[in-house]
Structure 1
Amino acid sequence: MTTTIQDLIDAHPDIPIDLPKETTNTSLDETYNLSPTTLVPENTSPLAIARPQTAAQVAQLVRYASQRGLPVTVRSGGHDAHRRSMASGALVLDIRALNSVRISEDRTRATVGGGITTGALTAVLEPAGLITTYPAVATVGYVGWATTGGYGLLSARYGLGVDQIVGARVVNAKGELVEADSEILSALRGGGAGAWGVVVEMDVRVYENTGPLYGTVSFSSQNPEQDFTSFFQRLQKAQDGNPEYPRDELGVGWLITVDPEFGPVLHSLFSWSSGDHERGYRWRENLRDYGPSSLVSDNVHPMPTTVWQGIVTNMLPKRVYGSARSMTVRRLTEDVLRTIVECMEIMPKDPGVGVVIQQCRGAAQDYHDKNMAFAFRDIPHFMIELVGTPSVPELHDAAEKWSSTLEEKLAQLKDVALGPYTSMTNPSPEGMRKAYGQERWERLVALKKRIDPGNVFRYGFVRVD
């Protein structure tokens, strides 16, 4: 059955529907990444953008699309590295209006709308004295982040984003609003939110907020191979051999950039999630001691999570051009760090370009769903994001060259390289197979074929072309 844009609009008079090339509201078709990526060059011009206001309207739109063979994509925060929500010819469901938050009576769960951003969720939880694992960037869609894997500064204390997912309401490929069963929940825990239907609500774990410390401890270096290697060697030695090293309370992520003023810079994004701030400050001092003497900044102190998210969000460009790649490694060995530093010679000097390092440790190793889609849970590891997304289009090609070169070289380190992170790798079936591993991939593909035989949600992480 064929359809026209006018047919779509006429069939849904109560739902705002815009044509990307005609809308004057640029926030509709502008995502964080403005350029079609090298890996997915076709993501440029969707058929139309619909803005459902309720789960029932989502179901109505999916039924309409399914009956007519229209592919459906879902947009919330719009931070997908490959701009998959804007796939050419697709009906985009912009579900940002689904942003409600309901806290359970026992204060251990929150039911969040499928379109809520991290900042909006934190703004509700924090006044209630609650917190959950989150990404540091406030504009990221929470459901998309959590279903991808969900590394964050509080992961060592509370687990990854996938570990917070305890329930979901999903509009399936038939346009039916259903409660996610255990099989779908396992797929959502690492398989992304866009392949299995439209997640209109998700139940997540929340925790009593103990008033964390946040901040950055940053060093510059004229000899980054020596200084950055020494820093991570001392850090890993403390984690391995110091019984006093905090298993849960201390959360750190790292950002390596080439600053126009300072040159190579290593930023440690610090969080301390217990009320014992004195001990937290001692470990902040230890991090300072691990690095070189050229301290650029140290601004760790108690602050609301909403303020911290605002600081990190403002560190990044508002819009970028390019794509992101990744590699998960067992340890940050000398070879890994040498490879990163060597490639800094061709890294563009831009705030949207850098190496982000996340660690899976502490409570992030204490997972419960052995069937979840997310890979590498049995192995302590570091996930390295190669963020090649400059703030100006003129640096696009240089950033692509840097990130692709670094990814290829890291993948050659067979003794430590495990595979890429699902949201930051080649989105082809072959690329995703490497991210999930063969057994998980086959299981996810079989589920995809069974619950979406018409391939309505064909642009999610698990694609059946």
Structure 2
Amino acid sequence: MGSSSDPRLTGLKAFLQGHPEIQYATPTSSNYEALRKTYILDNPAVPLAIVRPQNAEDVAALVTYAKANGLRIAVRSGGNSLFGKSMVNDALIVDMRDIAYVKLNESKTLATVGGGIIMGDLANELTKQGLATAMGTIPFVGFVGWSTYGGYGPFSPQYGLGCDNIVGAKVVNFQAEVIEADEEMLRGIRGAGGAFGPIVEMTVKVYQLKNILGGLIIFDSTDILATARKVSAGYQALQAEGLPSPLYVQQFALTAPFGKIFALAFFWGSDDHEQGQAWLTKVAALGDVIMNTVTPNTLAGFLEVMKTAVPPNAYGSIETMSIRGMTPEAIEIIARNIQRMPSTAGTSFSMHELRGSSAVPKADSIFASREPHMMLEIITTVADKTDLREAQEWAQSFLSGLREMDPENILPGTYISVTAPGSNSFENIFGVNYKPLLEMKRKWDPEGIYALAPPEVE
């Protein structure tokens, strides 16, 4: 931990005097705790300092200084890592959130964004132009971090994963140079994120879309076990018949003020709302609906709706597993564990479906889980820290139950963004792309300047 007499801080402050545009905070600064705060409240890390660059050249200057003085570097985009990856003890935190612009090309087919932009701000800018891009559902999540490590979300059946929409990136390399990523590096960025250096700018595909059809469908959950069984089985029947690419359904369970609920987030990513309404009718018929908030909306408006389903910050973490299909065995295990879910604010369960264009092998990306599957999130982010132990015990029991199912239904890889350190190997997560990843890391970070950037491979 850096103290006011730490010679590293003395040198850093002297360096920053020559870069007055770079805002910063040290442990004795009045704004340090506010800048240190991330989504997870119980991260004990005390960084050496937090710096707020304003552009790519500032980031390069900071990397030059850190490299010359032996400082470890960690990068924050949104600050929503559930495992503290963006706020590391005794490290120099490069907080990218002031680099948050959006620029469209003349044909409005590409958007170039700053490395610190969050999902909601990007959605707002694109909505003004009648545009959309692949993105997640929580507006305060950093867009670059979300997309480069994979990027599950409501557009994945028709646009692909977040990483599939990246067409360009500017990176500060290990020599502290601002470079345009070539196709080889882009392949690594599409799945391994900032492992090769801070991504100060990224260009992504955008699509014409004025309004979506979206919202929440909440089912009668008096008997939540029966509801979870019925809705999940019914959705699998719809899936077997074939689902249109604009449709995305996210099943989840959480504790509301009036008790535990089983619900769906419904998303129709097309301006053809007549067809969307027809599918809404089919999906709502899967259970006994007590509330349906699905309406025509903008993309930005939909993200604001989804924000109400998660706390703004919390204590705790997450467990995950990816399964090939919602078999009767999987449905039963999931439904029973939803029934056992603690009645504590924040504890929840969610399922993300990967299908369509996302779920096929791609040579230009090292994201490995390229087959149809469900990515399961067992979420133990609680509002009251005293509830954490009960939530964690439930999550471990849930995970143990899932591991007892037919092993052929379990993917070896898990989603790196929600995989707890040590709970799965990078060999499993990246599969056949693991050795190429190691080669990329040795080539583009030979000195280990970015050793703290996930995936932390040597």
TM-score, scaled to structure 1: 0.91
SS state of the match for residue 50, structure 1? Answer: strand
Partner Cα distance (2:118, 2:306) in 1: 15
Residues 1:386 and 2:382 are matched in the alignment: no
Partner Cα distance (1:371, 1:125) in 2: 26
Quote how far apart the aligned CAs of 1:288 are.
1.6
Residues 1:272 and 2:247 are matched in the alignment: no
Relative to 1, partners in 2 of residues 1:70 and 1:362: Cα closer, same or farther, differing over 3 Å? same
Q: CA contact under 8 A between 1:346 and 1:398: conserved in structure 2?
A: no
Partner Cα distance (2:309, 2:90) in 1: 34
Residues 1:44 and 2:45 are matched in the alignment: yes
Instruction: Look up the match of 2:320.
Output: 326
SS state of the match for residue 203, structure 2? Answer: strand
Quote how far apart the aligned CAs of 1:168 are.
0.1
Quote how far apart the aligned CAs of 1:266 are.
1.8
Match of 2:254 among 257, 267, 271: 257
Quote how far apart the aligned CAs of 1:366 are.
5.7
Match of 2:11 among 7, 16, 19: 7
What is the CA RMSD across the aligned residues, in angstroms?
Answer: 2.0
Instruction: Look up the match of 2:161.
Output: 160
Partner Cα distance (1:430, 1:303) in 2: 39
Partner Cα distance (2:12, 2:259) in 1: 54
Partner Cα distance (1:246, 1:21) in 2: 55
Unaligned runs of 5+ in 2: 1-5
Quote how far apart the aligned CAs of 1:26 are.
3.6
Partner Cα distance (2:449, 2:390) in 1: 36
Instruction: Look up the match of 1:361.
Output: 355
TM-score, scaled to structure 2: 0.93
Instruction: Look up the match of 1:40.
Output: none
Q: CA contact under 8 A between 1:196 and 1:451: conserved in structure 2?
A: yes
SS state of the match for residue 389, structure 1? Answer: strand
Instruction: Look up the match of 2:3.
Output: none
Q: CA contact under 8 A between 2:164 and 2:365: conserved in structure 1?
A: no
SS state of the match for residue 175, structure 1? Answer: coil
Relative to 1, partners in 2 of residues 1:386 and 1:21: Cα closer, same or farther, differing over 3 Å? farther
Question: Does 408-417 or 297-306 show the bigger shift?
Answer: 408-417
Q: CA contact under 8 A between 1:16 and 1:51: conserved in structure 2?
A: yes
Residues 1:397 and 2:389 are matched in the alignment: yes
Match of 2:451 among 454, 458, 464: 458
SS state of the match for residue 81, structure 1? Answer: coil
Instruction: Look up the match of 2:236.
Output: 236
Quote how far apart the aligned CAs of 1:332 are.
1.2
Partner Cα distance (2:346, 2:107) in 1: 41
Equivalent position amino acid for 1:271 in 2: F
Quote how far apart the aligned CAs of 1:446 are.
2.5
Residues 1:301 and 2:295 are matched in the alignment: yes
Instruction: Look up the match of 1:30.
Output: 37
Partner Cα distance (1:404, 1:443) in 2: 33
Partner Cα distance (1:285, 1:221) in 2: 19
Relative to 1, partners in 2 of residues 1:346 and 1:366: Cα closer, same or farther, differing over 3 Å? closer
SS state of the match for residue 86, structure 2? Answer: helix
Partner Cα distance (2:66, 2:218) in 1: 50
Equivalent position amino acid for 1:267 in 2: A
Relative to 1, partners in 2 of residues 1:146 and 1:354: Cα closer, same or farther, differing over 3 Å? same
Q: Deviations over 1:254-290 (max 9, x none)?
A: 2112445243x22111111222212211211111211
Q: Deviations over 1:333-385 (max 9, x none)?
A: 22222222333355332342211111111232367x414221211x1111111
Residues 1:417 and 2:427 are matched in the alignment: no
Q: Deviations over 1:400-458 (max 9, x none)?
A: 22223322332333121103211111224953333222x32222123212221221212
Partner Cα distance (2:415, 2:15) in 1: 40
Instruction: Look up the match of 1:192.
Output: 193
Quote how far apart the aligned CAs of 1:210 are.
3.9
Q: CA contact under 8 A between 2:60 and 2:172: conserved in structure 1?
A: yes
Equivalent position amino acid for 2:197 in 1: G
Partner Cα distance (2:330, 2:223) in 1: 16
Partner Cα distance (1:303, 1:404) in 2: 38
* Matched residues, number: 448
Relative to 1, partners in 2 of residues 1:182 and 1:411: Cα closer, same or farther, differing over 3 Å? farther
SS state of the match for residue 315, structure 2? Answer: coil
Partner Cα distance (2:111, 2:300) in 1: 17
Relative to 1, partners in 2 of residues 1:304 and 1:102: Cα closer, same or farther, differing over 3 Å? same
SS state of the match for residue 274, structure 1? Answer: coil
Partner Cα distance (1:420, 1:275) in 2: 33
1:14-25 paired onto structure 2 within 5 Å:
14=20, 15-20=22-27, 22-24=29-31
Partner Cα distance (1:435, 1:338) in 2: 26
Instruction: Look up the match of 1:447.
Output: 440
Q: CA contact under 8 A between 1:321 and 1:393: conserved in structure 2?
A: yes
1:46-445 paired onto structure 2 within 5 Å:
46-193=47-194, 195-240=195-240, 242=241, 245-259=242-256, 261-263=258-260, 265-291=261-287, 293=288, 295-344=289-338, 346-365=340-359, 369-377=362-370, 379-413=371-405, 414-418=407-411, 419-428=413-422, 431-437=425-431, 439-445=432-438
Equivalent position amino acid for 1:29 in 2: R
Relative to 1, partners in 2 of residues 1:412 and 1:22: Cα closer, same or farther, differing over 3 Å? farther
Q: CA contact under 8 A between 1:152 and 1:160: conserved in structure 2?
A: yes
Q: CA contact under 8 A between 1:247 and 1:362: conserved in structure 2?
A: no
Partner Cα distance (1:239, 1:346) in 2: 27
Q: CA contact under 8 A between 1:50 and 1:94: conserved in structure 2?
A: yes
Partner Cα distance (1:362, 1:316) in 2: 27
